[in-house]
Amino acid sequence: MAHPLELRACALQALLETDPARKTAAVAALADAGHKGNWTVDTLAVLQAPGGIPGRPARPELVPPRLVGRRSMATVEGRAMLVHALAHIEFNAVNLALDALWRFPGMPPRYYVDWLRVASEEALHFNMLCAHLETLGCRYGDFPGHDSLWEMVEKTRGDVLARMALVPRTLEARGLDAIPPLRAKLAQAGDQAAAAILDVLLRDEVGHVEIGNRWYVQLCEERGLEPISTYAALTVEYKAPVLKGPFNLDARREAGFSEAELARFA
């Protein structure tokens, strides 16, 4: 039998990969090795980050969010722009899961297993959206994208508590609110295949946000911090975006938000 793969080191190599197909294939191979019991995880290794993080292709061009373009559902191109925007979010989500996996030593083994699961499912989402994009006559990279999600990943690279607070349970949780209306628009436009993909995304994203919530609460407990007030302080310290409704309270509840937090959203 081949020597077991070391999970965090392999995650870093996958993060550095610039080609989307090779990146998602590397994630799938790592997840498969896990299912076969053929990897180990060194929870204490302090890995050095080389240049080139995150690895991504030359296209799409990255622009400010306001310049990404309108996405009218009345045309095939408009629907393609929306599907492309979703694919770009999922590609960034693959990278952020890999970054959460390799970057932070000293976490329990379950933490790394959780984030491999997230990376694997985000890679599947990306591939599903790219395949559908091709049925619309386009490919990933044909339209511009923005980098807002990764900017917060970069800001929180020094503290796993801040990362859990402000990426999965803040930025990714916005997907819980945004996916249902987007799904309705695509379905109304007659794109039932895209609507079905968004059903998968919403189902899985609930689990991803739950992972972020669970580790955030555990880290707060370990540090003797009150979660709600700590979260408020972190949003100010890291200049997190102000969240605006409407909120998908049912999905947020399923993803582990406390009733006190949900009351504030309501």
* CA–CA distance, 131 with 20 (Å, rounded to integer): 13
pLDDT in tens, 131-176: 999 999 999 999 999 998 899 999 999 999 999 999 999 999 999 9
Q: Domains plus CATH for the chain?
A: 5-46+55-265 (1.20.1260)
- A 10 A CB-CB count for 210 gives 19
Average pLDDT over residues 221-247: 95
pLDDT at 2: 57
**What is the pTM for the complete model shown?**
0.96
Q: Say if residue 22's pLDDT is above 60.
A: yes
Whether omega for the bond prior to residue 60 falls within 30 degrees of 0, making it cis, is: yes
Residue 248: pLDDT band (50, 70, 90) is very high
Q: What is the DSSP letter of 228?
A: H
* CA–CA distance, 175 with 199 (Å, rounded to integer): 12
pLDDT at 264: 85
pLDDT at 3: 72
* CA–CA distance, 227 with 213 (Å, rounded to integer): 10
Q: How far is CA 255 from CA 9, 80, 122, 131, 211, in A?
A: 29, 29, 17, 28, 8
pLDDT at 4: 86
- Per-residue HEC secondary structure of 85-127 comes to HHHHHHHHHHHHHHHHHHHCCCCCHHHHHHHHHHHHHHHHHHH
Q: What is the DSSP letter of 49?
A: -
Length of the chain counted residue by residue: 266
Residue 1: pLDDT band (50, 70, 90) is very low
pLDDT in tens, 78-97: 999 999 999 999 999 999 99
pLDDT in tens, 169-213: 999 999 999 999 999 999 999 999 999 999 999 999 999 999 999
pLDDT at 49: 84
pLDDT in tens, 29-66: 999 998 898 999 999 999 988 889 999 999 999 998 87
Whether omega for the bond prior to residue 246 falls within 30 degrees of 0, making it cis, is: yes
